[in-house]
């Protein structure tokens, strides 16, 4: 099983466990309320979205993972393209961070 399949499967599992929130405004809200454990931002996000998410995560000390496309992110959670998702569970967040850092 390659790296991309592993992180996508794990993100799908986290999503089925209802520990994933997607969409820019909802992700920002979770970061603000300090429920976000990890934010995954696609490499093809618009400059405005990228700045908004990165600034917010920096302010609230939430790690951000990169290196995926909006289509991989959406596919992993059974949706169309998604530019940004957040993980609400520490265990899932640590595992996903490790898998995404390996690339």
DSSP 79: S
User: Residues 6 or more apart from 11 whose CB is under 8 A from it?
Assistant: 20, 40, 73, 76, 77, 85, 87, 96
pTM over 0.85: yes
Domains of the chain: 3-101 (3.30.1330.30)
Helices 24-32 and 47-59 cross at an angle (nearest 10°) of 10
Would you state the pLDDT for residue 44?
Answer: 96
Question: Closest Cα partner for 29 from 57, 1, 67, 71?
Answer: 57
What's the confidence (pLDDT) of residue 43?
Answer: 96
Averaged pLDDT in 10-residue chunks for the chain of 103 residues: 82 97 96 97 96 97 95 95 97 94 75
């Amino acid at each position: 099983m390659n790296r991309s399949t592993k992180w996508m499967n794990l993100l799908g599992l986290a999503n089925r466990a209802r520990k994933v929130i997607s969409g820019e405004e909802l992700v920002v809200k979770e970061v603000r309320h300090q429920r976000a454990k990890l934010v995954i931002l696609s490499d093809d996000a618009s400059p405005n979205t990228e700045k908004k998410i990165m600034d917010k995560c920096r302010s609230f000390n939430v790690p951000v993972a990169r290196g995926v496309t909006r289509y991989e992110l959406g596919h992993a959670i059974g949706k169309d393209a998604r530019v940004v998702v957040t993980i609400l569970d520490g265990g899932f967040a640590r595992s996903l961070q490790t898998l995404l850092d390996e690339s």
